[in-house]
Structure 1
Amino acid sequence: MWGKILGALFGLALLRLPGLFIGLILGHWFDVKMGANLARFRGLFNESEEQQGLFMYTTFATMGHIAKATGVVTPAHIRQARHFMQQLGLNEAQQQEAQAAFRDGKASNFPLVAQLQAFHQHFGRQKDVTHYFVEIQLGIANVDGEMSHEQYQLLQQVALQLSVSRLQLEQMLAAYRAQQRFNRHDSKRPSANAMQDAYKVLGVSDNCTEKELKRAYRKLMAQHHPDKLMAKGVPAAMLDVAKRRTQEIQAAYELLKNRH
């Protein structure tokens, strides 16, 4: 019903009474289309609740929209999307549906705001889930360590619709980039740069106390704990990615804890 409500409000604001009816028609089309997409995802991922399909569809459609932000989807973005699908362990049918959602998102008229508002309606009170969703989008927006101005603007729009502040977005982006660098360091012979990146992964300064370090570590582990995310509605297919994230956080903490 969110498509009809939003369409009616936008139409009324732009064209008054005629716009109201036009908005209702367009909103109904959006509701029907989204409902069909969510139904496909529920069946393919063996999830019984609508929010599971909503999470999966919104994830890949938003990825597609961000990838197309500059007008052209690069091979690097396609590789990143495929890599993410492989990380999820999707079977062939599931990958086809994920690719279909990605293509939907690439359309210039894709209703990103309405889709995100529908997502926020279901998950908005679950801050860990909305932050996790934004973190997923960082991977497609920051392919090969590069992000265009248009992609950054879209990322800000995603964060805004999900009540993630600009400061929180900047912190997540800094942590994501540090994590990518940290993963490339030699874990057996950690350098000073590896330690600096480890601090950024945990979101603390290099002169933090042992207590502050431990508090940051525990907070991040709690936010990304697979069981906790699953209980809040994140699809089971996404949990392996969350598990890898906790392993990365653990590795950064293990490097630093003996230095305090």
Structure 2
Amino acid sequence: MGFWGKILGGVAGFALGGPAGALMGAALGHAADTGAAPGQQRIPVSTADIAALIGGRESLFAVSVVVLSAKLAKVDGVVRREEIDTFKRLFHVPPENLVEVGRLFDRARDSADDYEEFAGKLGEAFADNKAMLEDVLHALVQIARADGPVNKAEGAFLRGVHAQFGLDAAAWERARGAAPRAPGGVAEGDPYAVLGLSRDVGDDEVRAAWKRLMRENHPDSLASKGVPEEFIRRATDKVAQINAAWDRIKRERKL
């Protein structure tokens, strides 16, 4: 079963109630795929347990981004076609999985469960990969803007996700488009902004920031952590951006 294929288990589990139900549904689906009898499975008690049982964090990611996108679209009262189309475009849902993903989207949209539980579970599972969480937040910002300017309800939702993800203020500015993100912005933009630094920091701090960002965004590292292919492609672009910024700073400082 592929990345989005495990969504079907999440749809069934959502009827059990809340994020634990959705994730448990995915876990049970994976157990059935692998031939494991229900009685042989220990009941998951944490995000890490659930992720291990469903075959990696990619399944946790799949369920969580669908639910967060659906609840964001509904937070202002009306889900618009532009928001749905933006979600499908950003997360590249394959045609063969549209039905399953659509069912989970609809159930999440109509449920009374708190989105913060889902954001918290995703933030916990990917706490070692802040760059990927920032990309998810950026995608949610684009969904919120698909039908017009971000309103008060959407803004509060996005701030809540930002907090649950454990991201810093610089990540918020980049996610909402107030700081450079695209590789093309490096040539004429501020290389320190790319690294999330001010110009008055020391050489050691600049070097440490560059190394940290390279670790977080390296495509091989992301692939080993169950990050979807689309985010790996974005990471490749970001690595080029980070390296270009570092090269400019090295030349300026004669490092």
**Shared fold, TM over 0.5:** yes
| Matches of 1:202 and 1:52, distance apart in 2 | 27
**Matching residue of 1:56:** 62
**What letter matches 2:159 in structure 1?**
Q
Query: Can you give the 5+ residue segments of structure 1 that lack an aligned partner in the other structure?
Result: 1-25
Choose from 138, 148, 153 the match for 2:156: 153
Q: Deviations over 1:88-110 (max 9, x none)?
A: xx532245444444434433524
Which structure is higher in RCO with an 8 Å CA cutoff and minimum separation 6? 2
Kindly report which structure 2 residues correspond to 1:210-249, keeping only aligned pairs within 5 A, or say none: 210-235=203-228, 238-249=231-242
Q: Deviations over 1:204-226 (max 9, x none)?
A: 11344444333212111111223
| Matches of 2:86 and 2:248, distance apart in 1 | 28
Displacement after TM superposition at 1:69 (Å): 2.3
Kindly report which structure 2 residues correspond to 1:38-117, keeping only aligned pairs within 5 A, or say none: 49=55, 51-74=57-80, 76-86=82-92, 90-107=93-110, 109-117=112-120
TM-score, with length taken from structure 1: 0.63
Higher helix share: 1
Displacement after TM superposition at 1:227 (Å): 2.9
Q: What is the aligned-residue identity percentage? A: 18
Q: Secondary structure at the match of 1:258?
A: helix
Question: How many pairs align?
Answer: 214
Displacement after TM superposition at 1:136 (Å): 0.9
TM-score, with length taken from structure 2: 0.64
Residues 70, 108 of structure 2: 8 Å contact kept: yes
**What letter matches 1:93 in structure 2?**
E
CA RMSD of aligned residues (A): 3.7
Kindly report which structure 2 residues correspond to 1:115-126, keeping only aligned pairs within 5 A, or say none: 115-119=118-122, 123=125, 126=126
| Matches of 1:152 and 1:80, distance apart in 2 | 17
**Matching residue of 1:141:** 141
**Matching residue of 1:5:** none
**Matching residue of 1:127:** 127
| Matches of 1:41 and 1:35, distance apart in 2 | 10
| Matches of 2:246 and 2:98, distance apart in 1 | 34
Displacement after TM superposition at 1:202 (Å): 1.1
State yes or no: 1:35 paired with 2:24.
yes
Query: Can you give the 5+ residue segments of structure 2 that lack an aligned partner in the other structure?
Result: 1-13, 34-52
**Matching residue of 1:179:** 180
